[in-house]
Chain A
Amino acid sequence: MIQHKKRHQGNGLSLGRKLADHGFAWLAFGCTFLAMALLLLFFIRLGFDVNSWFKIMPERIAKFNLEIERKALEFDEETKRELDALAREKETRIKQDPNNADSLAIRYDKVINKKIEDRAKTKLEIESNLNTDKRSDVSCFGMLIHFISAGPSSQPQDAGIKAALLSSLLLGAITIIAAIPLGVATAIYLEEYRAQSWIGAILQLNVNNLAGVPSIMYAILGAYVFVELIFKPLESPAIAARNTLGGGLTLALLVLPIIIVSTQEAIRAVPVSLRHASLALGASRWQTIWKIVIPSSLPGILTGMILALSRAMGEAAPLVLFGAALYVNFSPSLFSRFTALPMQIYSWSDDPDPAFHYNAALASAILITMLLGLNSIAIFFRYFVQQKLKG
Chain B
Amino acid sequence: MESDRKINEIPPTRKLPPAPAFRISEWFIEWGLFLSAFLSIGITIAIAWIVFSGTYQFFSDPDVSIKYFFTGTEWTAGFEGAKYSILPLLAGTMMVAVIAGLLALPIGLISAIYLSEYASKPVRLLVKPTLELLAGIPTVVYGYFAVFAITPLLEKFIPGLDPVTNQLSGGIVVAIMILPMIASLSEDAMRMVPGSLREASYALGATKFETSTKIVVPAALSGILASFLLAISRAIGETMAVTLACGGQPKLTLDPREGLATMTGFIARIAQGDVQHGTTLFNSLFAVAAVLFIITLTMNMLAQWILTKYRQVYQ
**Surface stretch bound by A, among B79-87, B94-102, B115-123:** B115-123
**Surface stretch bound by B, among A35-43, A114-122, A148-156:** A35-43
- Flag whether A277 is at the interface (Cβ < 8 A): no
A and B contact pairs by CB, cutoff 8 A, 19 listed: A2-B199, A29-B118, A185-B32, A203-B40, A212-B296, A214-B264, A216-B239, A217-B51, A217-B293, A272-B12, A284-B20, A317-B264, A320-B239, A349-B143, A349-B147, A357-B144, A357-B148, A361-B144, A375-B132
Q: How many residues of B contact A (CB 8 A)?
A: 106
Residues of chain B within 8 A (CB-CB) of A34 are: 107, 111
B239 touches A317 (CB 8 A): yes
- Residue from A25, A209, A317 having most chain B Cβ neighbours under 10 A: A317
Residues of chain A within 8 A (CB-CB) of B208 are: 4, 7-8, 21, 25
Residues of chain A within 8 A (CB-CB) of B33 are: 185-186, 188-189, 193
- Flag whether B160 is at the interface (Cβ < 8 A): no
CA distance in complex: A217, B54 (Å):
13
- Flag whether A213 is at the interface (Cβ < 8 A): yes
B196-236 vs A: 1/0 string, CB under 8 Å? 00110010011111101100000000000000001001101
The one of A191, A194, A217, A275 that contacts B47, using a Cβ cutoff of 8 Å: A217
CA distance in complex: A371, B305 (Å):
33
Q: How far is the CB of B162 from chain A (nearest CB, A)?
A: 16
Residues of chain A within 8 A (CB-CB) of B141 are: 314, 342, 345, 364, 367-368
**Surface stretch bound by A, among B23-31, B67-75, B249-257:** B23-31
Q: How far is the CB of A248 from chain B (nearest CB, A)?
A: 16
Closest chain B residue to A19 by CB distance?
B209
B36 touches A29 (CB 8 A): no
Residues of chain B within 8 A (CB-CB) of A342 are: 138, 140-141, 240
A327-365 vs B: 1/0 string, CB under 8 Å? 000000000000000100110011000000100110010
- Flag whether A388 is at the interface (Cβ < 8 A): no
- Flag whether A372 is at the interface (Cβ < 8 A): yes
- Flag whether B163 is at the interface (Cβ < 8 A): no
- Flag whether A195 is at the interface (Cβ < 8 A): yes
Q: How far is the CB of A191 from chain B (nearest CB, A)?
A: 7
Q: Ordered nearest first, which 5 A-B pairs have the shortest CB separation? A: A214-B237, A314-B138, A28-B114, A317-B239, A212-B300
Residues of chain B within 8 A (CB-CB) of A253 are: 43
A39 touches B239 (CB 8 A): no
CA distance in complex: A323, B141 (Å):
20
- Residue from A32, A181, A219, A286 having most chain B Cβ neighbours under 10 A: A32
Which residues of B line the A interface, CB within 8 A? 12-20, 23, 25-26, 29-30, 32-34, 36-37, 39-41, 43-44, 46-47, 50-51, 106-107, 110-111, 113-115, 117-121, 125, 127, 129-134, 136-141, 143-145, 147-149, 176, 179-180, 183, 191, 194-195, 198-199, 202, 205-210, 212-213, 230, 233-234, 236-240, 243-244, 264, 267-268, 271-272, 277, 285-286, 289, 292-293, 296-297, 299-301, 303-304
- Residue from A49, A213, A323 having most chain B Cβ neighbours under 10 A: A213
Residues of chain B within 8 A (CB-CB) of A18 are: 207
A316 touches B138 (CB 8 A): yes
